[in-house]
A and B are shown apart, each in its own frame.
Chain A
Amino acid sequence: MVILADFTCTPWAGEAGRLVATGASAMPLAGEAVAAGFPSPADEYLEKPLDLNAYVAPRPEATFFVRVSGDSMVGAGIHHDDILVVDRAQSPAPGNIVIALLDGEFTVKRLVRTKDGLALAPENAEFKTIQVTPETDFEVWGVVRHVVHRV
């Protein structure tokens, strides 16, 4: 789980390999420090700017954004009005936070294994864990990979 700051950070010229959030005015990032002046010796070292999209959504065709209402997942860093980055290509496993379909309705919970099988656990003491029984109409719609939280 990675909690991301706002997408609209200014470009940050850090050392190569460091996460740099780039907005609309993405700048190419030089791999090594270079002196100013023309002709630019930086051309030799030009690398692609770090792409936040590629980082949070390596499979864009399977990635969907979902907005959260409510606070049953605050313990996992998921707040009201946050945007979840959901990957439908990842197979769900116990421990994952998932968007689940429960009797035809969407919900966000942590998928956990219990002695009776699977359950959907909230991350807020005020809410109850939902046990998935064979009678439950249950399906995992996608796995939550990141939270976009405005600070």
Chain B
Amino acid sequence: MPKSYALIDCNNFYASCERAFRPELRKRPVVVLSNNDGCIIARSNEAKDLGVPMGKPYFKCRNMLERNGVAVFSSNYALYGDLSARVMRVLTRFCPEVEIYSIDEAFCDLTGVPGGAEAFGRRLRATVFRWTGIPVSVGIAPTKTLAKLANRFAKKQPRCRGVFDLSASPDPDRVLKWTEVGDVWGIGPRHARRLRKLGVNNALEFRGLKRDWVKKRMTIAGLHTLLELRGWPCFDFADGPVDKKTIVSSRSFGHPVTRLDHLLEAAAQYTTRAAEKLRRQNAVTSNILVFLQTNTFKLGEPQHSGTRSVPLPVATSHTPTLIRAACAAMESIFKDGYSYKKCGVMLSGLEPEHSRWLSLLALPPAHRPDHKPLMQAVDSCNSRWGRDTVSFAASGTRRSWKMKREMMSPRYTTVWDEILRVTVE
């Protein structure tokens, strides 16, 4: 039976999270700013329609946003991480296999689901929205690259009502023609520019290129993308082009793992790897998410899967900080008595280390070798006397702290004092 992959992608995820507890914002444009209110990192559709650009520094468009009644939020990774974990848990509850790809995207294997993939996708979409308040789009196709493409189509074409199954489409070529070459998963801006110069403008034209030509100019990765567009799966679960906004490090275990100490080791190891990647990109992360799952294909065995996201008080690439957060999360989702098949970590809310805002009083990056002793001293203080006993000036010069609080939504799902309040009069 041909495979049926679905890509589930949350629509304007951060903006949708802000709206989940503020229904009066459903019709209003919403934007979310990066740490310390630097730049715009997320926009609702209404904000996109206003022409609010992605990545623009907030101070440069503040007046324009006010004039247009845009709701502006500081990033609230406690909220986004928790809602992401909820979406992923709903998916793992209903799908046989799920691969968390980024904070707002997951691949699901829908091969042979009852009622057909499209109907199943619609049920899944309705359930995720009903249970978590987050709207998602579902793209279904025989390969992951095509599923990505189908998802974009589902999202941009209102008549799809959020779900599009490319394999059931009467004219799949038209969808490929509609997709610009730079929007194909795995074709970066550099290759896209080169291809356009050669007159290759959309996915259909790219699919028509010769294998050898693509392999020579775009290496094996480009060839895989080409074959995937032709419907030949090259990317299995847990591989494929990397996402630039998040870093995922996960693996299936060779043997079922039952012990917490082994899972903690694995979590620490994956975190170390992810932190290395992070530093290689000269980036820092604001959030770490940890997940684990049993083998859902082993019928009759008890099943458990867990996801837990930990927002970091200060964006960092400091491995010990990340490991501590990951291990605490792993301990909280681990349940005794199950055989685990897979675990992993995901870093999200990445931003470039050197364009971090608030550089005025910020300490130099934590991971530099000459600051290791300081980092170690800080960490041991915090681990002995509790989190944030010693913290960085970077987490609050007075001005930015006030600014940050002004636009930060409550942490509705993770802090008792900030849960939704409903007045009954």
Q: Which residues of A contact B (CB under 8 A)?
A: 48, 59-62, 64-73, 78, 83-84, 88-89, 99, 101, 104-109, 122, 127, 139, 141
Contacts and interface: CB of A to CB of B under 8 A. Distances in A.
B425 A70 contact: yes
Find the residue from B85, B86, B131, B133 having the highest chain A CB count within 10 A: B131
B423 interface: yes
B422 A99 contact: yes
A59 B93 CA distance: 10
Contacts of B423: 69-70, 106-107
B130 interface: yes
A67 B24 CA distance: 19
Given A61-B86, A61-B93, A64-B412, 11 more contacts: A60-B89, A65-B419, A69-B423, A69-B424, A71-B424, A84-B422, A89-B130, A104-B23, A106-B23, A106-B422, A109-B424
Contact of B131 (A73, A78, A88, A107): A88
Given A89-B130, A89-B131, A64 B90 contact: no
A89 to B, nearest CB: 5
B420 interface: yes
Contacts, number: 77
Contacts of B131: 59, 61-62, 88-89
Interface string B330-357: 0000000100000000000000000000
A46 to B, nearest CB: 10
A107 B23 contact: no
Contacts of A67: 419-422
Contacts of A99: 422
Contacts of B24: 104-105
B413 interface: yes
Contacts of B93: 61
A122 B419 contact: no
A66 B424 contact: no
15 contacts: A48-B337, A59-B131, A61-B93, A65-B420, A67-B421, A68-B424, A83-B419, A89-B131, A99-B422, A104-B24, A105-B24, A107-B424, A108-B422, A122-B424, A141-B23
A127 B425 contact: yes
Find the residue from B24, B87, B90, B425 having the highest chain A CB count within 10 A: B425
Nearest to B418: A67
A139 B26 CA distance: 13
Contacts of B89: 60-61
A72 B425 CA distance: 6
Contacts of A141: 23
Interface residues of B, number: 24
Find the residue from A84, A88, A127, A139 having the highest chain B CB count within 10 A: A88
B132 interface: yes
B416 to A, nearest CB: 8
A69 B132 contact: no
Nearest to B20: A64
A70 B425 CA distance: 6
A68 B421 CA distance: 6
B424 to A, nearest CB: 4
Contacts of A107: 422-424
A72 B423 CA distance: 9
A78 B422 CA distance: 12
A65 B86 CA distance: 14
Find the residue from B85, B413, B419 having the highest chain A CB count within 10 A: B419
B420 A64 contact: yes
A72 B23 contact: no
Contacts of A48: 337
Nearest to A74: B424
A64 B131 CA distance: 10
Contacts of A66: 419-422
A67 to B, nearest CB: 5
Interface string B387-425: 000000000000000000000000011001001111111
Contacts of B337: 48
A118 B41 CA distance: 42
Contacts of B86: 60-62
A78 B93 CA distance: 32
Contacts of A59: 131
A55 to B, nearest CB: 16
B90 A108 contact: no
Closest 9 CB pairs of A and B: A62-B131, A61-B89, A70-B424, A61-B86, A104-B24, A72-B424, A69-B423, A106-B422, A108-B424
Contacts of B133: 88
Interface in B47-104: 85-87, 89-90, 93
A73 B424 contact: yes
A68 B419 contact: no
Contacts of B412: 64
A66 B131 CA distance: 15
